[in-house]
Structure formats: structure tokens, C-alpha cells
Structure 1
Amino acid sequence: MPYPDLPGDPSRRLMLAAAAASLLPAAVRAADADTVRIGFQKSSTLMIFLKSRGVLEQALAALKVRVTWHEFTSGLPLLEALNIGAIELSADVADAVPPFALAAGAKLTYCAIETPSPQAQAIVVPKDSPITDVAQLKGRKVAFAKGAGAHYLLLEALAKAGLSIGDIEPAYLSPADARAAFENGSVAAWVIWDPFLAAVQRQAGARILLDGGSLSSYRRFYLAATPYAQRRPDVLGAVFAELQRAGEWIRKNPGPAAEWHAPVIGLDAATVTAANQRRSYKVQAVDAEALAEQQRIADAFTQAHILPRRIVIADSPVWRPS
């Protein structure tokens, strides 16, 4: 194992209200040139791995940089926080999230990607649901997180079935609220990603109606606030290297990885194993193919009148390892 077996951080979790900087806790608003604030979510496996072992604290100490950690419910509020200066670095978010942030005027720099994991998100229905295809969602309530990769998957799945987002009743819910609505029958379907997907399959018997397949490659992107990326490319380089090492270790050690990960995120090891089998965890530099797909995703949301204007992905800077 390439990482020291250090104790994890205390289980304190800071939930940021990213709607406005004035609502952020003072501890998050306050930052200096020697601090990098990193945002993550429950699906940010590699960054959680580094956090739990104090790896970045050690790696960045040589650069005289201190690390603080801040958890979010999903990708869009995470990038909203990046946009308003509440954090400097974002752990991985699904491929649909950056276009939403860019549409809001965020100054973001693409830093890295995890290679495609299309089966790691899916549309699910209750095990006893009569729904057997996406066309049957017409007129029904479907839960998903706005601006998440699940949002794009739903858009593409509906289009393939000859429907649009206007043909369903969207229920924009966080994963926790969506799980409750799904289990009490308030929604007909839920579009969700791992590890929540694996959890609802194993714990509630949810049935996959459709996964990403050929509809959505589900790359996950790491981003930075552009001013920080310009000022501290050395920090980005150090984080990139450790993410690659973490991904390689998890791929080569699925059993120990699940045993580590399960208690950290409050799931059993079997559920984590099921989720990890669908994720690539291969970190690489942002390439032309990934950016082209970002443009396709942005255009799809614009054409569906979900984004207010066309986003030109090529206008956003890309950091690449030297």
C-alpha cells in the first residue's frame, strides 16, 4: 500500500450554503495564500481516500500549503462554492455539472478527468414497479439532482424514447431527499449515481431501468478556481499526482479499498464493492475528447432551454501536467 496508515480526520462535516458568500461560515470565507480549500461529495472516492489518510497534507506541506476540507451534497453546489470563492479546488463532479456553473459565469479551470464509467449512474424504479421502459415515464414524477450527470442521462434517455424533459414532472432533489421520496412512493423513478445507486439496489431492491450505456460516458471532472490555478499550478500538479496514485491503488486493491471506504461513507463493504466495480478511477489529463463531450452536453441543455445561453467550452482554461 503506497500510503501511510494515518488516522482519518474527525468526522466534522461542514455543509456550505453556496447561494451567496455572505451565507458561508466564517471559517470557510477566511482563507489565505497558504491555504487550499477542497470541496468534495460522497461520490468523490479518490479525494476522500486522500483526505482520510492525510496524504495531501503531507504532499503540500513541502509547498507550505495547508489543506481544509468541505463536504457538499452534490456537484452543482460544489461548483457554486468554487465560483464564489468559498473553495479553491473541486473534487470530481459529473460531466454535466461544469456547463451549469459556466452558464452562471463561473471562472473555472479544468484540471483532470476520471475516464468514462457509464454504468455508474442509472435510472432506477422500485422493484415492483410496472414501468419497464423510459417511454412509460411520461407524465410521471422523476427525482434527480439538477445539473448533475443524472440530469444529462435523463435528458438523453428521454430523447431516445421520443420524449423531452417537459413530458415528465421533474423533482429536483438531493440524493438523501430523493432516496426518501423513492422509497415512500412519491416519485416513479430516480436518476442517481454510485455509491447511492449501489446502496438503493442492495438495500431497497431498486431495479435499473436504464444505465449510462451509450447515452452518457459519465466522465468525472476535477476543477479549480481559475485565479488559483493561475497562481498555484504547483499545487495542482501535486494533487494530480496523488489522485493518480490513489486511483491506481484502488483499482489494484478492490477488497482493501472497499474495507477502507465503507465505514468512511457509512455503507457496507459489499455495497461499496458493487459501486467501485462500475467506476474507472483512472485519472488523466483533460483531453480533446472530454472537452468535445462537454460541448455536446452544454449544447443539449441549451437546446432543451435548461441553460439560458450557449456555453463555449473552449473559452475555459485547461491545466495540464508538465
Structure 2
Amino acid sequence: MKKTFLTILLALFATILVACGNDSALKESESTSGESNNGSEKEVITIGYQKGNTLNILKEHGNLDEALSEAGYQVEWKVFPTGTVLLEALNTNNLDFGHASDGNAVFMQAGGHPLHYVASESPYPEGVALVVKADSDIKSVEDFKGKTIGVTKGGNQHYLLLVALEQAGISQDEVDIKFYKDAAEGLAAFTKGEFDVYGTWDPYLAIVENTVETRTIVNGSDLTENRTFYFATEELLSEKTDVVSIILEELQNADQWANENKEEISKILAKELGLDVEPIQQANERRSFGVQKIDDTITLSQQQLADTFYKAGLLESEISVQEAVQIDDAIIPDNIQ
């Protein structure tokens, strides 16, 4: 049975209000403390994460805290509402390691901020889609001409839209693109009929599918990889390569555990996000968790995203993703391909 719109919308607003608290709450750490065997304080490694993502799983699993403690370090976890805010904290050395989306990364680099890619999460193309209401007369991307399409500016669904339009031979001027600021606002606008086409991402895509009778016109398959990337400070990469290797190894271990325990993971993430378990489970069933080494193919895909946003007038300047991908292969642990 479909969840009521009001119930889902209230849950989304609750999630966003929690995420958008004041700066002091934002920066408040959720840390574990400890001392080395000789009684001296351990050096702190600060990791930034967003609720509902893979570093959130790593935090809850607890294996990284244990592994770094054995190596003489203490983990401090900091939660952030968006990848952009997280990358800003990383850029100002308020974090050592964190994650952000593909779009967050290219916007940060185009703004003149140095980035240091470390690794990638597995692609998640089915986790982003352009949907319409079930009774819509829109049957394909070719029918988007003259229609109003809602996306978040620079988001993964915005990129999917641009690629889908280009493939269909439709210019941006032939559609009316409307930007919404967050999942709650987008769902409300789509439900009220303000958008003919709605671009969204998991787990909110799954929520929409369980709230409104919809049809998916196109998802990311064969159009966008929809990746999360991992980043570190230059200092961590140059002076504490052992820490980077441990983080990646334990992140991969947690990811593989997540693949084998998706029902349990869904419960954990639902609690973190303040959402029902069912859509989280639905979202997790269409993805695979796993850390990947950034190779030429992944770099090229990220470059294509950056070039597309630049051509659309969204980036301040052209960038070279390769310049930010200078990871030493020796840092990558053996359990990552």
C-alpha cells in the first residue's frame, strides 16, 4: 500500500531540518576516544560523512575505529548535510578524509579549490532517474519538449537530464528547467503538478515510487555512473599513507559486509535518516557497495560530467579532473581493484 503523501513529506522535512542545523551542531563531532597503551593521547584522524552514505555505514560498523586504534590513532567523526560543505571543511583542513558526489567535486574544483581524489565508490546508475506521473502523456525523452522539468541545480539528476536531452537531440532552450532546493520541496512541487518531469535520486527516488503513481522515463543506466568519490587532504596523502590505506581497506571491508547484509544496513540507514525502512531497502537492492581504484575510465567519465556542466554554463571555468587524481598506487590496499 502506498504511504500517504503527508506522512512521507513530514519525514523528509524532519530529515532536512536535522541536516540543516546550526554550524556548531554541524561541526560537533561524534567521536570515540582512547589512549595508547603507554597512556599518551592518540593522534586524531577526522573523517567527514553524510548520513545514509557509505562512510556512515563504516562509522556504524565500527571496524575502522578498531583498526586505526591498533595503529595508534583515534577517529573523530563529523557529519555534514551536503558534499559541498564537507569539501569546504576538507579544503580548510578541518577534516582529513571524506566523501562527496561527482557533481560536488567538479563544482569545487572549478571554483579554484584544490581537490585530492583518493578512490571511488561503485557506480550507482539506477539510483537517479527522471520520472513522470503514471497518467502523463510523456512516454520518452523526445516528449520533454515544452515541458517543465524539476531538478536540483548541478545535481546528479541535472546531469542525467542534460545527457538525456543531448542524446535525444533536444536543446536546453526547448525545455523549462526548474530548480528545487531539496527533496521535500521537490516532492511537494511534483505532487502539486508544478513539474511535468521530476528528477530525483535514491533514497528519495524510492520514496517517490512508494508515494506517487509514477513511471520512469529514464534512469542513469548507460547515461551516468552516479558515483561517490573519496577525498583526503594533501597532508594525509603525503605524511600518513598508512592511515589512508587503513581507511580504504576497512571501507572496502564494510562495503562487502553491507552487500551481504542489505536488510540490516537498510535498518541502520533508515534510523540515521529518520525515514521508513522500505524505501531504503528498495534503494539498496538496486546498488552494489564497493571501493574502486580510480582508473582512466573513471577519470574520463568524471571529465565528461565536468565538461557537460561547463557547456551548460554551470561551472565557472573548465577543469582537468586528471590534475586532481594523483594518488600513489602503493597506497591502495590489496582488497581494492
TM superposition score category, shorter chain reference: 0.7 to 0.9
Specify the alignment match of 1:151 in structure 2. Answer: 158
Q: How does 1:1-322 map to 2 (within 5 A)?
A: 15=20, 24-25=23-24, 28=27, 34-44=43-53, 46-62=54-70, 63-72=72-81, 74-91=82-99, 93-166=100-173, 167-319=175-327, 320=329, 321=332
- 2:291 maps to a residue whose letter is V
Q: Counterparts of 2:188 and 2:86 in 1: how far apart (Å)?
A: 22
- 1:65 maps to a residue whose letter is Q
User: Displacement, 1:316?
Assistant: 1.0
Q: Which has the larger radius of gyration?
A: 2
Question: For the structure 1 residues 81 and 134, does the alpha-carbon distance in structure 2 shift closer, same or farther, using more than 3 Å as the test?
Answer: farther
> More displaced, 107-116 or 223-232?
223-232
Question: For the structure 1 residues 94 and 206, does the alpha-carbon distance in structure 2 shift closer, same or farther, using more than 3 Å as the test?
Answer: farther
In structure 1, runs of 5+ residues without a counterpart are 1-10, 18-23
> More displaced, 188-197 or 219-228?
219-228
Specify the alignment match of 2:3 in structure 1. Answer: none
Q: Counterparts of 2:45 and 2:154 in 1: how far apart (Å)?
A: 25
In structure 2, runs of 5+ residues without a counterpart are 1-14, 30-41
1:189-241 CA-to-partner distances (Å, cap 9, x unmatched) read 22122111111111223321110111112232112233443343332222211
Q: Counterparts of 2:109 and 2:289 in 1: how far apart (Å)?
A: 25
Q: Counterparts of 1:231 and 1:14 in 2: how far apart (Å)?
A: 32
Question: For the structure 1 residues 90 and 146, does the alpha-carbon distance in structure 2 shift closer, same or farther, using more than 3 Å as the test?
Answer: farther
Q: Counterparts of 1:52 and 1:14 in 2: how far apart (Å)?
A: 18
* Count of residue correspondences: 302
Q: Counterparts of 2:21 and 2:117 in 1: how far apart (Å)?
A: 22
CA contact (8 A) 2:206 2:279 kept: yes
Question: For the structure 1 residues 229 and 170, does the alpha-carbon distance in structure 2 shift closer, same or farther, using more than 3 Å as the test?
Answer: farther
Aligned partner of residue 73 in structure 2, secondary structure: coil
Aligned partner of residue 111 in structure 1, secondary structure: strand
Question: For the structure 1 residues 174 and 34, does the alpha-carbon distance in structure 2 shift closer, same or farther, using more than 3 Å as the test?
Answer: farther
Q: Counterparts of 1:85 and 1:170 in 2: how far apart (Å)?
A: 35
1:130-183 CA-to-partner distances (Å, cap 9, x unmatched) read 322223333443222222222211110111222233432231422232222222
Q: Sequence identity, in percent? A: 32
Q: What is the Cα-based RMSD across aligned positions, in Å?
A: 2.9
Using structure 1 for the length normalisation, give the TM-score: 0.82
